[in-house]
Amino acid sequence: MIRFDYTRASDIAGAIAAAQKPGAAYLAAGTNLVDLMKGGVETPAHLVDITRLPGLSGIAMLPDGGARVGALVRNSDLAHDAAFAKAYPMVAEALLAGASAQLRNAATVGGNLMQRTRCPYFTDAVSPCNKRAAGSGCAALGHPTRLHAVAGWSAHCIATHPSDFCVPLAALDAVVEIEGPGGTRTVPLADFHRLPGDHPERETALEPGELITAILLPPEAAGFRGNARYLKVRDRTSYAFAVVSAAAALTLDGGRIGRARLALGGLALKPWRVREAEDALAGQTPAPEAFARAAEIALSDAKPSGEANAFKIELARRVAARALALAAAGTPARVPALPASPFGIV
């Protein structure tokens, strides 16, 4: 383990001040950061413990119909909050599909947004990786890439973002609330994570010292509660990161689709919202043909980043179409025994 300084912050202002030191990093549950530190992938010089900051652990259903979730709320607490799960069922389903119960009991929703890619070349500290060391190269290119990106990737990075939680948040137009040296600001979740481009080392919209304080869901997001599902295909159903996932939500009126939302996971370095597919569904009869066409549109620009991951494109089409069909069938009264799994009982 590397040597580092440690500060336990007692308020947000103090945490932000401490994070101004070179090489500083915020520490919440540490379910990702500490593992990376042990492997020599992350080497912060200063850890700022934010676990005791006041005001960041609440779940508030707002008078306008939206919701505000503090950044230190535990994943399991949010998934099992009855009012939140009723209003945003596919968010709860995605949370319960992520990691193991033990990790969900520890991990925070703010940390979920900040988790790093599980690309094996990134987590191998001796492999070249532009995310760890800008300009060092990408060891994944030309090597086994079964779980790597098929959308939004560049010649500098073909990693994917691992979060389940972020996929339905992207579909529902969630907003990230941020506090920093310059004050408070908000960033749409769709803009929070960056695609790699020429600078894969820049992963989020956060500026140095800025801290996620909450996640906001707009009032209109709850309008999808009756027809919303999250579907995840993974190598190990008990717990594993998504090979491909989809968050699908619809409003139905008079036997036709009013509005549609569709976002995909496991494809890119950020949740992949596909608005063109959503537009194609508006006004359509909720039927397999419409869902298949939307899925084709959603993956029309996808391309493999290596010889081993072309299958993900067809898999994503099928997952998207099935997630839409499940959403059309209606949100179940209870989350299936195998949350978000294609093997769960519908």
Decide: helix, strand or coil at residue 46: strand
- Cα 49 from chain centroid? 23
Q: Does residue 41 have a pLDDT over 90?
A: yes
Helix pair angle (311-329, 288-298), 10° resolution: 140
pLDDT band at 35 (very low <50, low <70, confident <90, very high): very high
Q: Does residue 345 have a pLDDT over 90?
A: no
Q: What does the pLDDT read at residue 38?
A: 94
Q: Which two tokens stand for residue 214?
A: 């909450």
Q: Minimum mean pLDDT among 19-28, 41-50, 88-97, 330-339: which range?
A: 330-339
Each residue's pLDDT tens digit, 207-247: 999 999 999 999 999 999 999 999 999 999 888 999 999 99
Q: What does the pLDDT read at residue 239?
A: 87
- Contact criterion met (CB below 8 Å) for 177 and 217: no
Q: What's the mean pLDDT in 4-33?
A: 97
pLDDT band at 346 (very low <50, low <70, confident <90, very high): low
Each residue's pLDDT tens digit, 303-327: 999 989 999 999 999 999 999 999 9
Strand partners, 216: 68, 175
In 3D space, the residue among 231, 233, 235, 229 whose CA is nearest the CA of residue 244 turns out to be: 233
pLDDT band at 1 (very low <50, low <70, confident <90, very high): low
Q: Which two tokens stand for residue 195?
A: 């695609």
Burial class (CB in 10 A: 0-12, 13-18, 19+), 338: middle
Share of the chain above pLDDT 70, in %: 99
- Contact criterion met (CB below 8 Å) for 280 and 297: yes
Beta strands in 181-301 (DSSP E): 183-188, 211-217, 228-234, 242-253, 256-265, 272-273
Express the helix, strand and coil content of the chain in percent, nearest 5 each: 30, 20, 50
Q: Exposure pattern of 23-49 as b/e (b: 16+ CB <10 Å)?
A: ebbbbbbbbbbeebbeeebbebebbbb
Q: What does the pLDDT read at residue 238?
A: 82
In 3D space, the residue among 163, 151, 153 whose CA is nearest the CA of residue 115 turns out to be: 163
Decide: helix, strand or coil at residue 337: coil
- From CA 102, how far away is CA 255, in angstroms rounded? 42
Instruction: Specify the amino acid at residue 48.
Output: V
- Contact criterion met (CB below 8 Å) for 48 and 9: yes
Q: Are strands 24-27 and 46-49 parallel, antiparallel or unpaired?
A: parallel
- From CA 16, how far away is CA 310, in angstroms rounded? 43
Domains and CATH numbers, the chain: 5-52 (3.30.43.10), 59-114+161-220 (3.30.465.10), 223-329 (3.30.390.50)
- Contact criterion met (CB below 8 Å) for 121 and 306: no
pLDDT band at 336 (very low <50, low <70, confident <90, very high): confident
At CA 54, angle to CA 50 and CA 57, rounded to 5? 85
Q: Does residue 344 have a pLDDT over 80?
A: no
